Amino acid sequence: MTATHAVLCGKALEKIEKSGCEELVVTDTIPITGKERPWLKQLSVAPLLAEAIHRIHKSESVSSLFV
């Protein structure tokens, strides 16, 4: 399962654990400090943002980054 912003509030972690989900992949746009689980993987958006900034600086298209 994938998600963009992991708003893991309330009983979210408990519900996900009970769902049988083997792995949840989220971005690091919202910190998950203190909520780490073996099945919760967090990916950085830093490389994507860096490339977008680079392309904007060089007046290049960024739309291909989001296809």
pTM (predicted TM-score): 0.75
The domain segmentation of the chain, as residue ranges, is: 12-66
For the residues 7-16, what does the mean pLDDT come to?
Answer: 93
Cβ-based burial of 6 (10 A; exposed 0-12, middle 13-18, buried ≥19): buried
User: How does pLDDT run across 17-33, given as a tens digit for each residue?
Assistant: 999 999 999 999 999 99
User: How does pLDDT run across 24-66, given as a tens digit for each residue?
Assistant: 999 999 999 999 999 999 999 999 999 999 999 999 999 999 8
